Structure 1
Amino acid sequence: MADLPLLLLHAFPVDARMWNAVREPLAARVRLITPDQRGLGRTPLPETDRAPSLDDAARDVLALLDKLELDRVVLGGCSMGGYLTMAVLRLAPERVGGLVLIDTRASADTPEAAENRERMAVRAETEGDLGWLAEGMLPNLLAERTRTERPDVVETVRDLIESQRPAGVAWAARAVGARRDSSDLLATADIPALVVVGEQDVLTTPDDARRMADLLPKGELAVLPGVGHLTPLEAPAALTEAILGWL
């Protein structure tokens, strides 16, 4: 598995720059690919009449693999990137040689959570400026200690959120809200899998991570102490060590 490239998918509502702190140490040991997802970062939002769906975003990932002439990769992601990873696994399991699921969960949104995402999408489209989104999400994205003692990380996350295009944020919010439950999918994924979670993650909790690790036939769990939902930004060294040790 260590000879396979590692493709990591970013969280919502940021872009692939969230991997910057882990990029160099990972790339020193494995071929690393970190694309921006549709509508976020440098990737445009395609013109389409189709309802937002992670299945379409998954097809983007498969098209990238085809373009790079890669038959199989170790596929992983953080939060929304984890949901997208599971969508790719559902569509093309033969392309996935291993899983890295970071601060994510297998379950679908509750109706209430999906409604909240729809309100978020509408506000993004209506207001344009995303300062309100950063302000509202930061308390849940980062551990309290990070927010009080590491202003550089707070500002990095704020800048990542505020630099996104509102239309891309709206599309992603609706796609995530419409995602399917992936519990049965993970239970049949007989490939090496690493599940990583921040000890203080309040969005996708350590209990969510344990359930995924228990579902996966070859699942391993790593809990990173003292950090929240965005472990690649809050604990890059610990995350790098977990991934490389597992690989």
Structure 2
Amino acid sequence: MHYIDSGAGPPLMLLHAFPVDARMWNGTRGLLEQQVRVITPDQRGLGQSPLGEPVATSMPEREESRFTEPPGVDAVAADVIALLDHLDVPDVVLGGCSMGGYVAMAVLRAAPERVRGLVLADTKAAADDEEQRATRLEAAARAERDGTAGWLAENSVSGALGTTTRTERPETVAHVRELIEEQPAEGVAWAQRAMAARPDSAETLRAFTGPALVVVGSEDTLTPPDAAKGTAALLPNAELTTLPGAGHLSATETPEAFSREVLAWWDRSG
């Protein structure tokens, strides 16, 4: 599992959104690492992390798309826990944006003792409905069949980025497009299927009594501010903050504001 580990102090692990990789946190790192240790892994199959070993089959032409573990956020959570073991880190403040939030909730299910604080950015506890699941599975099949060049970024940027970013931050739009274009097609397909299969995590959040911060971009149309209020309401000890001028990738669109909110919450929560 590829990761970047920088800064010193109490550890903060940040899990990235789909369909990008850990570089989405680059803008936040310089501010955060002044006070905390920042660990940002690439989730399996995305960025520089491998997806896994292919399984030999009687259909060699399908071998590349069949891997040793079926798609699921629990498998990514196991990767995260293994990375914590590798780094000899007993527990962390765990943050996740979008898919990274789904993985963070899976870590909570598997090993709640490893999470002493939670930052959920532009994500939700609910599982996909049937229509959302079907859309993900269709996208996974297309990625395997056609690759992801062109269409994935075109289909993703308008939902991932807020109106302000798309009209006033061309360098951020270009950066996000580049990240999307660089993701391996097989990793994209696996991640879509993993998200489609994820369970509802409402009870997982209700059971977490540690400090939590829920962050949402004011222009997020995928998990909008009202949805973030619902997520915060599930957590017994949560604060909610809204970042103006940001969409679904709020930490990438407004990194300074995101970092300030996280560090201020960290100071308050002890």
Q: TM-score range by the shorter chain?
A: over 0.9
Q: 1:54 aligns with which of 35, 57, 73?
A: 73
1:90 and 2:109 correspond: yes
What's the TM-score once normalised by structure 1's chain length? 0.97
Report how far residue 131 of structure 1 moved.
Answer: 1.4
- The corresponding residue for 1:158 is 177
1:148 equivalent in alignment to 2:167: yes
Does the 8 A contact of 2:9 with 2:35 survive in 1? no
Distance 2:76 2:233 in 1: 27
What's the counterpart of residue 131 of structure 1? 150
| Residue 15 (structure 2) pairs with residue 9 (structure 1) | yes
Aligned residue type for 2:108: L
For the pair shown, the structure with the greater C-alpha radius of gyration is 2
2:118 maps to which residue? 99
After TM superposition, the score normalised by the length of structure 2 is 0.89
Pairing 1:171–2:190 present: yes
CA distance in 1, matches of 2:92, 2:21: 20
Structure 2 alignment gaps of length 5 or more: 1-7, 54-66
Deviations 1:158-177 (A, max 9, x none): 00000010000000010011
1:194 matched to 2:213? The reply is yes
Contact 1:11-1:80 within 8 A present in 2 as well: yes
Equivalent residue for 1:33, pick from 39, 54, 63: 39
Q: In the aligned structure 1, how far is the partner of 2:148 from the partner of 2:141?
A: 12
Gaps of 5+ in 1: none
Percent of aligned pairs sharing the same letter: 57
2:247 corresponds to 1:228: yes
Matched residue pairs, number? Answer: 246
Matched to 1:68, the amino acid is L
- Please, what is the CA RMSD of the aligned residues? 1.1
The answer on whether the counterparts of 1:4 and 1:72 sit within 8 Å (CA) in structure 2 is no
Asked if 1:118 is matched to 2:124, the reply is: no
Shift of 1:3: 5.5
* Partner Cα distance (2:227, 2:10) in 1: 27
Equivalent position amino acid for 1:10 in 2: H
